[in-house]
Structure 1
Amino acid sequence: MPQPTTNNEVAAGQRFPLTIKRIGINGEGIGYYKRKIVFIPGALPEEVVVAEVTNVAPRFIDAKVHKIRKMAPNRVEPKDATYGQVGGIELEHLNYPGQLAFKKDVVVQALEKFKPNGYAQYHITETVGMANPWHYRNKAQFQVREIDGQLAAGLYAPSSHTLIDLPEFATQTDLTMHIIRTVLKLVEALGIPVYDEQHNAGILKTIVVRESFETGQAQLTLITNSQKLPKKQALITAIQEQLPEVVSIMQNVNKGKTVMVWGDETIHLAGQETITETLNGIHFELTARAFFQLNPKQTAKMYEMVEDALDLNSNDRLVDAYCGVGTIGLSLANQVAEVRGMDTIPDSIEAAKHNAAINQIENTEYFVGAAEELLPQWLDDGFQPTALVVDPPRTGLDQQLIDAILLSLPAKFVYVSCNPSTLARDLKQLTSRYQVEQIQPLDMFPQTARVEAVVTLTLK
């Protein structure tokens, strides 16, 4: 075993006892050794473990659990055999009440780090969870490769391109898993060549399945290395015979080695071009590439929270920033005079307009562009929003958008966050003019370290 050369040095492979103090934002246990923070996946607060160092950085140590000497009372046996090998289930070893408590604590940790105005007095409610925190993901996006002569479909191990085959995955719906494993068998039986990343050869790269909770129907997309799809008609026929739930079959072309999963060209192979999902009475037609929340049950709850927080009336002019396919704005359109939404993805804006049309909603307008660019333009043109909802990516709000918000000062303002750190950072500026009335954590992704938060802000 490597030994440190001085009392203050730590080397990879070294082992030492460690008491776990809390869980970090990525779900890892956190302790301290020789005044350095130690990140150790799979360890829980109150546990005493023997840590084995895997990496030493100037300001922190990465380690793994060699042995647990004292076990936390809320530790449980993970459901998935692949726990610890892939992402998306990093908290399976923590019971569900423990997960909900952690997700509230993550919000608290972020506020304590960035210290926005008045943060110690914010009302942070308990995390809203699920009655059944399993089989909730309505979409699976699994890479396909050959491993030791057998076809495999699954996810990459963290920070690698090592594919982990996933015959089962406890956060996916039963239907999405059934479709992927059936298609994989059909591909193997037909001899359709799968992608070989090392040699940039082969055809099938990825299988994507999205299920509609409303209809029980599914859309299948085959992402390929070229437009060619050998045995295409035989595959389509077999899918239609064996998987009647699949009502839409698409092909997406993504050529060559790339970190991107999707390519620009999508081809309609069979069935419908879209599937329909319903949230709070609003119907959404989803193309293969359209972004839609992966947990419709919790998404419906979240939109109800947004509605309650905004307390809209028929005179309000609502801006739906980062609108995607229009989900939030369309859910609230019947309560306001008008909705304006924007997104940088043209396909999403086309989908938002289409979804407004199929729901016969006539008081919405959708625009392609960045919120931080369009909102200032609208203000210059004389448009004055009275209500605003922002649902940004994990990077949080752009500085120009914060400036525009603080210039327009809509009286009703809700910030939906998927990243407590960037939320707390943004609140440092927003609380110069706004007061945080409530932060409601929501568990959109059970068994993971991720948390959503619905923040109600009012003008001071």
Structure 2
Amino acid sequence: MKPKRNSVVEVRIEGLGPNGRGLARADGLTFEVDDALPGDRVQARVRRVRGGAAEARTVAVLEPGLRRIPAVCEHFGTCGGCLWQGVSYEDQVRLKMGMVRDALGRLGIAFPFEDATAAAEPFFYRNKMEFSFGQQGDEVVLGLHVRGKFDRVFDLRRCHLQSEASNRVVDAIRAFARSAGLRVYDLRSHRGLLRFVTVREGKGTGEVMVNLVTSEEPFPERAGVVEAVLRAAPEVVTVIHTVNRRKAQVATGDEMTVLHGEGFIRERLAEFTFRVSPTSFFQTNPRQAERLYDLVAEYADLLRGERALDLYCGTGAIAMFLARQAGSVLGVESSEEAVRDALRNCAENRVEGCGFAPGDAGPVLRQLRRQGERFDVAAVDPPRAGMHPGALQALIELAPLRIVYVSCNPEALAADASRLLAAGYRAERARLVDLFPQTAHCETVVKLVKR
């Protein structure tokens, strides 16, 4: 008999799903269980049953498969950010390695993995955090969303993911909002002012940006917010006010006004300096990103004069690391704004030999092949869903001698790698790089060589 919603079941966790939830099988169902790890025997409350699948959340660990440790953060369990803070960091890396191997193994793929590149700093590593405003009674709260609740925000006292400067910024803005009697934007009535605070930090420079996102209601108090932020966090070099006129609850907007500083910060990776604006994409963990990009360059194994292709190049970071050895690098990116940033980054860092082609990867690759272009190496860092099938086929037809594939999604990596292996490539090296400690997310880098 299948369990019903809100019933409690006892299951043994056999593995992890792509999202880091525990997997178990019982009563003819496959369970995804929150707060459970391989080897655990747990009691879990069923939240949903659909077809042959069920979702549940652990209410008691009867027999732990992995040793638990006290969480550093007082909000652990309430916050949805740090899934694995209750286990040692060494165990977190092993769990991620298992997730990647399992995803590949389901398609019969076994890569020659090297030792993982673990993070030297498993806390205070993020360079960007988005904080949400909420209301508890008549009081303004500022923090993060309660896990699984898009409409509930808890009042953040201290987050261990970004920095102490970020915590001071949150405290200062919340205190000012309360003292000034500012109203929080209401998702139902679409009235009120305060929506989000985004804090971005250059880990290599120490520069901090604060972006306050509000509705279009009048905001005469914004100068006071700037003063409060600068008193609390002298590291802040720029403050931006973004107006979001849309009903969509997102931390971006239609109009930006720089209230203090230049409107951007700088970040440093290795010898390169990058300009980071409020909407720029930049890897969340810059210290690990530098190690990731060095590894991509190592796997590319470029000789002087060889040509490299950088697909999904973003603002040009991988292209710049490859340009140290390559004769030339061509970056391909669908966002024209990112291409402009890439060109500026290369110019400001005096990097030569990099060119950039705006456009979707598939059409650009097909055009390059028609033109008879040849590349020795292709670095590929696609979105979480992996490469579009047409783009992957175009890459196979372009036939670079070596492909360095960077993936943030083991399932997508397995699917794309399967096609590349079938097309005549072999995996020569592979490594997990942990950019997201305390979470189930990770990056995998694979070197594939044409047979």
TM-score by length of 1: 0.93
Alignment of 1:233-312 (within 5 A): 233-312=223-302
**How far 1:394 moved relative to its partner?**
0.5
Deviation larger for 78-87 or 243-252: 78-87
**How far 1:181 moved relative to its partner?**
2.0
Which of these residues, 148, 172, 177, is aligned with residue 137 of structure 2? 148
Q: In the alignment, is residue 44 of structure 1 matched against residue 37 of structure 2? A: yes
Output the CA distance in 1 between the equivalents of 2:304 and 2:72. Answer: 48
Deviation larger for 440-449 or 225-234: 225-234
Output the CA distance in 2 between the equivalents of 1:451 and 1:396. Answer: 14
Q: In the alignment, is residue 433 of structure 1 matched against residue 447 of structure 2? A: no
Q: 8 Å contact 1:434–1:457 — kept in the other structure?
A: yes
**How far 1:149 moved relative to its partner?**
2.0
Q: 8 Å contact 2:245–2:254 — kept in the other structure?
A: no
Output the CA distance in 2 between the equivalents of 1:29 and 1:263. Answer: 37
Q: In the alignment, is residue 449 of structure 1 matched against residue 417 of structure 2? A: no
Look up the equivalent residue of 1:127 and give its one-letter code: A
Look up the equivalent residue of 1:21 and give its one-letter code: E
Deviation larger for 223-232 or 197-206: 223-232
**How far 1:422 moved relative to its partner?**
0.5
Deviations 1:196-230 (A, max 9, x none): 22211122211001111122110111112127422
Q: 8 Å contact 1:42–1:93 — kept in the other structure?
A: no
**How far 1:73 moved relative to its partner?**
4.1
Cα distance, 1:171–1:235 mapped onto 2, change above 3 Å: closer
Look up the equivalent residue of 1:396 and give its one-letter code: G
Output the CA distance in 2 between the equivalents of 1:238 and 1:450. Answer: 35
Partner of residue 91, structure 1: 84
Partner of residue 3, structure 1: none
Which of these residues, 123, 126, 131, is aligned with residue 115 of structure 2? 126
Which of these residues, 388, 391, 395, is aligned with residue 401 of structure 1? 391
Deviation larger for 30-39 or 80-89: 80-89
Look up the equivalent residue of 1:385 and give its one-letter code: F
Partner of residue 327, structure 2: 337
Output the CA distance in 1 between the equivalents of 2:263 and 2:354. Answer: 24
TM-score by length of 2: 0.95
Consecutive unaligned residues of structure 1, counting only runs of 5 or more, are 1-7
Output the CA distance in 1 between the equivalents of 2:12 and 2:365. Answer: 49
Partner of residue 13, structure 2: 20
**How far 1:252 moved relative to its partner?**
1.9
**How far 1:455 moved relative to its partner?**
0.6
Q: 8 Å contact 1:406–1:433 — kept in the other structure?
A: no
Q: 8 Å contact 1:192–1:230 — kept in the other structure?
A: no
Alignment of 1:354-373 (within 5 A): 354-373=344-363
Partner of residue 196, structure 2: 206
**How far 1:158 moved relative to its partner?**
2.0
Which of these residues, 27, 51, 60, is aligned with residue 58 of structure 1? 51
Alignment of 1:218-233 (within 5 A): 218-226=208-216, 228-233=218-223
Look up the equivalent residue of 2:139 and give its one-letter code: Q
Deviation larger for 153-162 or 19-28: 153-162
Cα distance, 1:243–1:174 mapped onto 2, change above 3 Å: closer
Deviations 1:357-388 (A, max 9, x none): 11012321223211122121122223222211
**How far 1:262 moved relative to its partner?**
1.2
Deviations 1:310-354 (A, max 9, x none): 011221221111111111111221211211112222221111111
**How far 1:238 moved relative to its partner?**
3.2
**Tell me, what secondary structure is at the counterpart of 2:151?**
coil
Over the aligned positions, Cα root-mean-square deviation in angstroms equals 1.7
Cα distance, 1:259–1:374 mapped onto 2, change above 3 Å: farther
Structure 1 consecutive aligned stretches of length 4 or more whose deviation exceeds 6 Å: none
Q: 8 Å contact 1:44–1:75 — kept in the other structure?
A: no
Q: 8 Å contact 1:138–1:176 — kept in the other structure?
A: no
Deviation larger for 377-386 or 415-424: 377-386
**How far 1:61 moved relative to its partner?**
1.6
Output the CA distance in 1 between the equivalents of 2:172 and 2:228. Answer: 10
Look up the equivalent residue of 1:200 and give its one-letter code: H
Alignment of 1:151-166 (within 5 A): 151-156=140-145, 157-158=147-148, 160-166=150-156
Identity of aligned residues (%): 29
Deviations 1:234-288 (A, max 9, x none): 3223333443211111122211311433124322222112111111111101111
**How far 1:96 moved relative to its partner?**
1.3
